Amino acid sequence: MDGKFIKFGKNLVTTDEFVAEGHSFCVGCGEALALRLACKALGKDVIIANATGCIEICTSPLPVTSWRVPWIHTLFENTGAEISGIEAGLKILMKKGKMPERDIKCVAVAGDGGTSDIGMQALSGAFERKHDFLYLCFDNEAYMNTGIQRSSATPYGASTTTAPAGKLSIGQTTWKKNMAEIAVAHDIPYVATACPSYPFDLINKVKKGGEVKGPAYVHIFSPCPTGWRYPTDLAIEIGRLAVETGIFPLYEVENGRYKLNIDRPKLRPVEEYLKPQGRFRHLLDGEIAKIQEHVNEEYAKLKAKVACFAA
Ligand SMILES: Cc1ncc(C[n+]2csc(CCOP(=O)(O)OP(=O)(O)O)c2C)c(N)n1
Ligand SMILES: [Mg+2]
């Protein structure tokens, strides 16, 4: 690692790679790209606690590892508790003079299953105790690592191995749990949504989340060619469509104040996002219209919250 930076317009991005090549992510994995960018934003002075899931499996096939920063594998359910302990431990070691005072970022990394489902309680506790940490949820909208099982972050209408579409069902029959809003409800200083199709936006948000004192949460949309069944060269396009249709808006909430980072005057129809993906291929016009209506409503609610803080 040489600590050099490349300039992209106004943005400086390090050439250092903190997650080395040689990992086993699928070709075209949006999560791998998002992780690489997030780690560039954080730099080397971090400790990462990583819940089991695709990221952990693909970066740490014993006896080798892709991690070039301190990293610990946690259970599926306890990332929030583990990062709390790491943060409290560092604090006490520095206070007692057992290690020099240093700014070390404590970062938790987990999937949507590890966050919205099984890890929710530990995360909620860590938010509530106001530990100084950043939590990154890499949301590929199912339990991908174990074979594409539905999670509470799986969107309505998507076919998964445990909620398959067929004669009796359209697949997932519930709306996606809004994890970013659940984080906001904990009254923490920083919450944001990000997507690797907007790399500088993602880098800036992860950087900000790492610098904030107290808990911060960044929810990262992570397109998955294997589980979503789209061609492997479409990850960036799928992410962009999710944002431009309003399915996954990019916004920040700083000390309770909402800001929309990308706001198109007119959203694209959700159909453009749904059509290229095999997991939605069975949806008929009526179901697509229902999804469109839901997206319109959710987007309008978000815009209303943003409007509260405008001017
Ligand atoms: C208590 C417990 N239940 C189930 C598992 C099996 N398991 C490991 S990873 C995983 C899925 C992870 O899904 P997610 O958090 O969305 O991450 P992804 O693999 O999709 O990136 C499951 C079910 C486990 N390790 N521990
Ligand atoms: Mg997942």
One digit per residue, the tens of pLDDT, for the chain of length 311 reads: 778 999 998 898 999 999 998 899 999 999 999 999 999 999 999 999 999 999 999 999 989 999 999 999 999 999 999 999 999 999 999 999 999 999 999 999 999 999 999 999 999 999 999 999 999 999 999 999 999 999 999 999 999 999 999 999 999 999 999 999 999 999 999 999 999 999 999 999 999 999 999 999 999 999 999 999 999 999 999 999 999 999 999 999 999 999 999 998 899 999 999 999 999 999 999 999 999 999 999 999 999 999 998 76
Q: How far is the CA of 45 from the centre of ligand 2 (A)?
A: 27
DSSP assignment of the chain equals: ----EEEETTEEEE---SB-S---PPTT-HHHHHHHHHHHHH-SSEEEEEESSHHHHHH--TT---B-S-EEEE-SS-HHHHHHHHHHHHHHHHHTTSS-----EEEEEEEHIIIIITTHHHHHHHHHTT-S-EEEEEE-SSBTTTT-B--TTSPTT---SSS--SSS--S--SPPP-HHHHHHTTT-SEEEEE-TTSHHHHHHHHHHHHHSSS-EEEEEE---HHHHT--GGGHHHHHHHHHHTTSS--EEEETTEEEES---SSPPPHHHHHTT-GGGTT--HHHHHHHHHHHHHHHHHHHHHHHHT--
Q: Is 145 in the pocket of ligand 1 (CB under 6 A)?
A: yes
Q: Is 18 in the pocket of ligand 1 (CB under 6 A)?
A: no
Determine if the pTM surpasses 0.95: yes
Compute, in angstroms, the gap from residue 74 CA to the centroid of ligand 2: 16
With a 6 A CB cut-off, is 122 part of the ligand 1 pocket? no
Cβ–ligand 1 contact at 143 (below 6 Å): yes
The end-to-end CA distance of the chain, in Å, is 44
CB under 5 Å of ion ligand 2: residues: 111-112, 140, 144
Task: Supply the pLDDT for residue 264.
Answer: 86
Q: Is 76 close to ligand 1, i.e. is its CB under 6 Å away?
A: yes
Domains, the chain, ordered by start? 5-308 (3.40.50.970)
Structure tokens at 75: 């259970």
pLDDT at 62: 87
Question: Burial, 2: exposed, middle or buried (Cβ in 10 Å; 0-12, 13-18, 19+)?
Answer: exposed
pLDDT of residue 177: 98
Pick from 76, 75, 70, 67: which is nearest to 89 by CA?
A: 70
